[in-house]
Structure 1
């Protein structure tokens, strides 16, 4: 089926209900950057907020929501596909895309994985029914139209899907003895003759511990060769089969197949898939170690599918790290059924605090499966040395090595049998639950000694709520005896009343099998998890099989029907939010109706009913407690929202911006549409329900009206605002030029207690020629944040409350330079962190600024010796960070930042340099660095930031301190000027004022530029020497 046909049909068919992850409380802003979405729309994130730029020819409407601390921006036409499971939600997770360096600053394409589709140019993974491709960002808008417009055939058995080719981060001297490997070696069991594949970051071919160990290697990453640039793969490989004299791997006789699937930032899904297929089908590895992972969801992702498919098809055992997320669920692909998933324990067998736990997302099945040593394990590291290594990434290769030893003992066993043997013989930690440790810490001595293996290694059932009805599931546990003598088993269940066995004793013949029926009976049991063990006692010890059930909470079917104002089957979108648990559910509407199953409780239902001429919003409380129910959303009950202004020349723009929230849940959207499209709201009262509705108007006088209705307590019958200019905040904004005529775009957004930095700027981009002035009328009483954006720079403030009446603003005023309007630079313990790119704030107090075109360096020196250095470039759309590990004792440091720019929109501040000196010692908690900045505000400049030749310019000077740092007084200030771009300097006289100082600058008699240099020292000993070349113009 064509990709276009699949997506187009998905828009018309399918009723899969998707339950997104619970919505967390407000989180920090997404990292700065620009991201082109699969739809062709571009999302630009700066510290001041989020701008959405519709792709060429795109219908513009966007939803914004923070889910799990991540900012999602979802175009309206993608929402049905997401709800039906056709599209990967990560395609619209702006935070994740930027964290993975998938933003526009780092890559020109969008990497994708597709299933059950034929796509020209895709690289097929034939054995998995998938393909990978990269869609150039410059053509994504057209590609999206092709994808969603290609036919109306039905979705093929629900198998077709498009995933983001995501990134998965990388998640020994005493540990070998801890799991019994040293005893296995004494028996001659070293993994000889067994191939173990390690899919990781490559390896160090020159490390002595890995010499002669690697039999196969292949590079699937974007890096040029197999060499390990991270160190992770070398660590893992040495734990599996290192041949060092001092530190041996668990299976030193095994041979390794090294598949490099990633580098510094992790591994892409497509590289992992290709590596897995190579390892299982080409190399025919008996065991594959995968020490990486990403957050799991209830649905199967491509890597989970591949683990299950290749395990079944080839008999390979995939050993996967559980993850290092502590109490959070096990990561994918460790969540796959077939994976042998490994948590970490310390030397005392206690589960490590960082080790990920169960239950598994969705069905609450038991994961991890086993544990192994993963705390301070000595491993080989790149460069030939050894170092301690902690994490489930270290635990998994212990188990992979153990599996290789078991495969040497039993060469005909499948991966499923190896998994069962290691789980069945594991030693549980007494105070840990199966959700923390699975079957327990592996024990090779016990595993090698056992004649009998139980399959499957775990039995699980998940029961829907059916009132007081029967909840029964039956399965079979088969015991296989590989010995030459029969074995008698005494069977029992432990820890869960839902487990019932058909027999308490079983005799397993020599080289034969015997089975017992396990009935899981949860009838009448309380909702939740019922976890236990089936134990088979033998003369050689106990064989343990994990078993249990999950009973769904009391739940019922809810049918939601949308009734249109003008159409019979309107478009609809809804979210149901549980204020008690934070869970969010998104029903799928087809033909105006959606059906879904909801747990008992109080849910808040927010919905939009979209029709060609109108959109209606509604909110209602839904009580799910006693049987199925039907809910009708009737757009005809909506009351019109009206904005008016007493300016007969004013007309509304084609944009509607709406946000609704209740407690920590909030949902917002923005649509560009015909201004005649009406907005309606169904009146409702709901304590705590808040909303804001925003309308932007132009007028022939050049004034712009930004009107906001922001209230709480429900949706009123009179939503909107009847504005009178005399009652609004009138802002007369002046936009100065930086020595040359140019243009830029101002952006403004009101803040309503949302998390700063995640707001969407709703004002349409409006190019303003500079120099120029614009008059804005805004709703007073709200905090308005503003930004001035050119082709490469971004200057912004943190917002201020607008009051009724006239006020003025000036943007782009000289002198542009470093600012501490926001905190920058900290020491935490012995780690220093500083953002050196914030050197281009305009001269107005309270603003910060970055120029993406500026380049330079930042260095940190201690007692004259450089200890850290970083190149600076592209600091608007990627983090420019200087970090350094410092000694605990107090020392003198010199921090230097220097950047230059040559851009068409400005002739000023072509070079900016700051040199700070300060003392610092270890801090018990995060402490701001004692940094200061010299700020200038020349008076009397013209609209181009020019002084007249031969005149005198008074320059008010102030000192800004890093917020939260010492407020030591300024002890001295020396000011200098240059008219030859810093080739020579002259001292400037200055006089103290109430707010700082005023310098008197004699301007040259001919056109040119004045550069300024300030050197300040405070009473704590901190100094700064700050130089701005071409601070303002003369002409």
Structure 2
């Protein structure tokens, strides 16, 4: 069970020595990695489930709010640059709909991989030598074995990418960039093809009639029709034929490439559309009003833009994005060859949402230009018009302008068009270069000017060098299409830009070059953006230019020496910043790796696996590193490692495995851990003091003489302050927490699998620490655990899973019961909410056992969920394969009418089981439109019958005392229970009779008289609270009588 940070509000009286822990305020999600390992996330907590047979370590890192979980055998490949780090970005995988509840596959792009990965090819991306494919999550183990085989991935030649997703980011606006003046000169884009890669188009819209000459479909939808309105709007901005709302280039031809659906597109769909537009259609301009987060490395979309621009001369115009913050320009707009567009409003001011530079990879200036993008009126699906805002709207303005310019200069390449539009742009007042680029495009000026720079952006990035030498030269070449020479006055507006002269003369029909010196000697680290401006009369040409100076940085070389005194490559190696969370992976060759680091305090982490005399040996090192003033060479010598050792003063017990070895730096959320090292593994740690670092070693012990073992020791050595000088832990049984766990059967005897995890750190990360395999039910198992720590437990019985909320272990003896009746709905975890006028409900916790602080599900149960208002059904969902760890696996979603209403939510689930064969809940509650996410005021009636035997049976004719309590959906508006009515049935609900209920403390007590013949008792309860919320809950065959 994975827990987050909101306190369990109604924990019923537990036994002595066990205190309630915290429970999650958010739902649970799971995702399978390309390695076959699985990560389960709840709120800020997560748990890792290694793939079958995988004895590997894991490093968890939080960067920029994203959780990365990196298996140790993937770390070297990431360091070599042959794996896309996004394959391990759990946050992004879930956000893109690649979680296990959303898709059975992992979409990937294979670059330079000739070995079959067992994946299903989706499409060939010929221009890049790539394949888009889907790897079945059921086959990830096979795929990973192939990937890690000999020379499948070769640094510099091959790479496996995640096929990530990208999202779709006219009257006054057309005038704003000077389009009508261009039309008056006869330039309307005629004869020029502009490809619009978007969500399709409305072929029946009158403004697009006769405009579309080519169609290409690269999405999974059945036709070209635009189902979201984005593509139609964008296409009409480029070349709409309407009288009132005319596009920028109203006589240009449109090639519409449908590259996505309503929720965006995959990267491979985008690339396929680019290839079609540039190679097959031979479009002069491609408009792309979509994008996704950019990273420091060249991604497939950026590669496609750069490669196709060079090969075909096509100009790719891309949206900057709508994040409105620094360093947020999206890919593919981040590509060097792209003409990247920010947005201004109708008054020419920067739009607050327009994404800004610098570019992530090298701090260069992006976006390149701006265009109108606020309240743009253009074509809507269905024949009308609508107003939309975003850099998605600004981009087609520039694409249309480029089409007009291409008509004026049909022999110009895309690069020349780009340079002309940048060169002729007008600066935006009160905006930085990283916000506006060269400024807002001025089509009148671009058409008029006869001199164009061949380079649109010249930039230099300088590494730190204490001795100086931070200078570079760049050439700016001006081409003159006029019949007379032109003398340009030159100026630069940045302190790092030096011109050799204040003028240059460009001959008629010729070119002239200027050598620009970028001199950052003596400059402090940082960004130095600027422009070079060339003027002659009304001719004003701007070229973006500048420099980035790296912070004071030095090379750190790490050498790892194995236990036999020879260099070895570690399984994992990275240097991380314990303050900021920055992580630099180390790529080792022959035991040595070098990385460049800014000055400051870092930690060096390595894990080294070796075999000595045929036995596996693991050595862990994590020590502080100060980078200051010079390059460094460090050695990690595994021979300095101290052996870990755990003992217990019980001679009948023997070590089964080192179940977890972990390091966590809770200050910013880095965890590294190893799972499932067997008893023969030798584990060493290299002692080092490190503030903020906590060391954890968990071992599992069972009886060496009895099978199955009547007990299990879970012994955890957890220490703060670094890796200990003496990693020895001597446990004494009398000082441990002792938990006697009774595991009941539900009818016929069966088997169950108990699992125990250790929760560590403020972010509720879990280490699996104990698994004894299957035990017979009913049965008893004594757990001995290290006190002072929080352990969470689960029990898997066939397809049913029950989990608890985690318990803080205290010295002394306690007991607990698992798989106890009555199994039914639980609200230990949040299950439903309304945001605005959208409702979501997850029917996953319908089968929790009858103990406080439990949640549970049964993936074999099936049923339905229905939402109605005043008898009118709003939504229905089928329920199957419901997993408490996967809320989306059984989710009902509905759009609600705005305002207030009274709603009825009904769920009914059946399963093939002895007890709780059908569970039905009918909730009635008021709800109103809300700006914030508001949990639904749902209730669950919970029962814990006393006196049942270990098969959940009451004696014939006996009276059963049943504690009753009501659980509420966490976070819902508080209300008190106003009334409760309980009924019982001995004939599976054919007839019912009332049961007396008495208030006792915070709950109630019911007394049930059982029949004198064998059978089952069903329960039906009706509850109303003081806010008017109601629930009627029916559990068929709640417990047995016999």
TM-score by length of 1: 0.91
Distance in 2 (alpha carbons) for counterparts of 1:382 and 1:28: 42
Contact 1:330 1:358 in 2 (8 A): yes
**What's the offset of the Cα at 1:286?**
0.8
Q: How does 1:891-970 map to 2 (within 5 A)?
A: 891-903=900-912, 906-923=913-930, 925-970=932-977
The corresponding residue for 2:12 is: none
**What's the offset of the Cα at 1:308?**
0.3
CA shift digits 1:976-1020 (9 cap, x unpaired): 223444344332222222232222334344444332221111222
Q: How does 1:800-839 map to 2 (within 5 A)?
A: 800-828=807-835, 832-839=839-846
SS at match of 1:77: coil
Q: How does 1:779-794 map to 2 (within 5 A)?
A: 779-794=786-801
Question: Alpha carbons of 1:1032 and 1:172: their partners in 2 closer, same or farther (altered >3 Å)?
Answer: farther
1:722 has 2:703 as partner: no
The corresponding residue for 2:301 is: 303
Q: How does 1:398-409 map to 2 (within 5 A)?
A: 398-409=397-408
Q: What are the ranges of 5 or more consecutive residues in structure 1 without an aligned counterpart?
A: 1-26
Question: Alpha carbons of 1:193 and 1:430: their partners in 2 closer, same or farther (altered >3 Å)?
Answer: same
The corresponding residue for 1:631 is: 634
1:69 pairs with one of 65, 72, 78: 65
Question: Alpha carbons of 1:33 and 1:930: their partners in 2 closer, same or farther (altered >3 Å)?
Answer: closer
Question: Alpha carbons of 1:457 and 1:750: their partners in 2 closer, same or farther (altered >3 Å)?
Answer: same
More displaced stretch, 547-556 vs 1017-1026:
1017-1026
**What's the offset of the Cα at 1:927?**
4.3
Distance in 2 (alpha carbons) for counterparts of 1:30 and 1:641: 37
The corresponding residue for 2:321 is: 323
**What's the offset of the Cα at 1:864?**
4.6
Distance in 2 (alpha carbons) for counterparts of 1:544 and 1:788: 68
1:734 has 2:737 as partner: no
1:659 has 2:663 as partner: yes
The corresponding residue for 1:650 is: 653
CA shift digits 1:717-736 (9 cap, x unpaired): 22242111111111112222
**What's the offset of the Cα at 1:31?**
7.0
Question: Alpha carbons of 1:960 and 1:53: their partners in 2 closer, same or farther (altered >3 Å)?
Answer: closer
Question: Alpha carbons of 1:852 and 1:411: their partners in 2 closer, same or farther (altered >3 Å)?
Answer: farther
Question: Alpha carbons of 1:657 and 1:623: their partners in 2 closer, same or farther (altered >3 Å)?
Answer: closer
Contact 1:969 1:1018 in 2 (8 A): yes
Distance in 2 (alpha carbons) for counterparts of 1:747 and 1:368: 52
Distance in 1 (alpha carbons) for counterparts of 2:167 and 2:956: 59
The corresponding residue for 1:469 is: 468
The corresponding residue for 1:18 is: none
**What's the offset of the Cα at 1:213?**
2.4
1:192 pairs with one of 190, 193, 206: 190
Contact 2:759 2:767 in 1 (8 A): no
**What's the offset of the Cα at 1:55?**
4.3
Q: How does 1:387-426 map to 2 (within 5 A)?
A: 387-426=386-425
SS at match of 2:352: coil
Q: How does 1:30-45 map to 2 (within 5 A)?
A: 32-45=28-41
Distance in 2 (alpha carbons) for counterparts of 1:1013 and 1:214: 63
The corresponding residue for 2:201 is: 203
Distance in 2 (alpha carbons) for counterparts of 1:958 and 1:267: 48
Distance in 2 (alpha carbons) for counterparts of 1:432 and 1:922: 38
1:846 pairs with one of 848, 853, 866: 853
1:996 has 2:1003 as partner: yes
**What's the offset of the Cα at 1:815?**
2.1
**What's the offset of the Cα at 1:45?**
5.0
Distance in 1 (alpha carbons) for counterparts of 2:962 and 2:651: 44
Question: Alpha carbons of 1:865 and 1:410: their partners in 2 closer, same or farther (altered >3 Å)?
Answer: same
Contact 1:708 1:720 in 2 (8 A): no
Question: Alpha carbons of 1:208 and 1:765: their partners in 2 closer, same or farther (altered >3 Å)?
Answer: farther
Contact 1:296 1:330 in 2 (8 A): yes
Question: Alpha carbons of 1:382 and 1:606: their partners in 2 closer, same or farther (altered >3 Å)?
Answer: same
**What's the offset of the Cα at 1:455?**
2.0
Question: Alpha carbons of 1:150 and 1:621: their partners in 2 closer, same or farther (altered >3 Å)?
Answer: closer
1:493 has 2:492 as partner: yes
Contact 1:899 1:912 in 2 (8 A): yes
SS at match of 2:647: strand
Contact 1:976 1:987 in 2 (8 A): yes
CA shift digits 1:120-164 (9 cap, x unpaired): 585543322223333344433233333333359x947x1221212
Distance in 1 (alpha carbons) for counterparts of 2:991 and 2:389: 56
**What's the offset of the Cα at 1:580?**
4.6
More displaced stretch, 613-622 vs 33-42:
33-42
SS at match of 1:759: strand
The corresponding residue for 2:334 is: 335
Distance in 2 (alpha carbons) for counterparts of 1:977 and 1:376: 62
The corresponding residue for 2:107 is: 111
Contact 1:563 1:570 in 2 (8 A): yes
Coordinate RMSD, CA, aligned: 2.8
The corresponding residue for 2:606 is: 607
1:680 has 2:684 as partner: yes
**What's the offset of the Cα at 1:368?**
1.3
Question: Alpha carbons of 1:117 and 1:690: their partners in 2 closer, same or farther (altered >3 Å)?
Answer: closer
Distance in 2 (alpha carbons) for counterparts of 1:686 and 1:55: 32
Question: Alpha carbons of 1:993 and 1:878: their partners in 2 closer, same or farther (altered >3 Å)?
Answer: closer
Distance in 2 (alpha carbons) for counterparts of 1:251 and 1:777: 77
1:670 has 2:670 as partner: no
1:1017 has 2:1021 as partner: no
Question: Alpha carbons of 1:1031 and 1:459: their partners in 2 closer, same or farther (altered >3 Å)?
Answer: same
Distance in 2 (alpha carbons) for counterparts of 1:744 and 1:99: 34
Question: Alpha carbons of 1:729 and 1:77: their partners in 2 closer, same or farther (altered >3 Å)?
Answer: same
Question: Alpha carbons of 1:968 and 1:705: their partners in 2 closer, same or farther (altered >3 Å)?
Answer: same
SS at match of 1:1026: strand
Question: Alpha carbons of 1:831 and 1:428: their partners in 2 closer, same or farther (altered >3 Å)?
Answer: farther
Contact 2:531 2:543 in 1 (8 A): yes
Q: How does 1:238-317 map to 2 (within 5 A)?
A: 238-317=236-315
1:161 has 2:165 as partner: no
Distance in 2 (alpha carbons) for counterparts of 1:240 and 1:771: 72
Q: How does 1:110-129 map to 2 (within 5 A)?
A: 110-120=106-116, 124-129=124-129
Contact 1:468 1:524 in 2 (8 A): no
Contact 1:30 1:95 in 2 (8 A): no
Distance in 1 (alpha carbons) for counterparts of 2:215 and 2:24: 42
Distance in 1 (alpha carbons) for counterparts of 2:1025 and 2:78: 57
SS at match of 2:74: helix
SS at match of 1:571: coil
2:87 pairs with one of 67, 88, 91: 91
**What's the offset of the Cα at 1:565?**
2.7
Question: Alpha carbons of 1:236 and 1:499: their partners in 2 closer, same or farther (altered >3 Å)?
Answer: same
**What's the offset of the Cα at 1:922?**
4.8
Distance in 1 (alpha carbons) for counterparts of 2:249 and 2:951: 73
SS at match of 2:630: coil
1:378 has 2:377 as partner: yes
**What's the offset of the Cα at 1:780?**
0.8
**What's the offset of the Cα at 1:865?**
4.0
Question: Alpha carbons of 1:965 and 1:126: their partners in 2 closer, same or farther (altered >3 Å)?
Answer: closer
Contact 2:27 2:830 in 1 (8 A): no
Question: Alpha carbons of 1:736 and 1:47: their partners in 2 closer, same or farther (altered >3 Å)?
Answer: farther
Contact 2:580 2:668 in 1 (8 A): no
**What's the offset of the Cα at 1:963?**
3.5
Contact 1:323 1:331 in 2 (8 A): yes
Question: Alpha carbons of 1:908 and 1:69: their partners in 2 closer, same or farther (altered >3 Å)?
Answer: farther
More displaced stretch, 41-50 vs 932-941:
41-50
The corresponding residue for 2:19 is: none
Distance in 2 (alpha carbons) for counterparts of 1:744 and 1:226: 52
1:557 has 2:566 as partner: no
Q: How does 1:1022-1033 map to 2 (within 5 A)?
A: 1022-1033=1029-1040
The corresponding residue for 1:595 is: 594
Question: Alpha carbons of 1:57 and 1:719: their partners in 2 closer, same or farther (altered >3 Å)?
Answer: closer
Q: What are the ranges of 5 or more consecutive residues in structure 2 without an aligned counterpart?
A: 1-22
Contact 1:858 1:895 in 2 (8 A): no
SS at match of 2:194: strand
Distance in 2 (alpha carbons) for counterparts of 1:229 and 1:1005: 64
More displaced stretch, 471-480 vs 984-993:
984-993
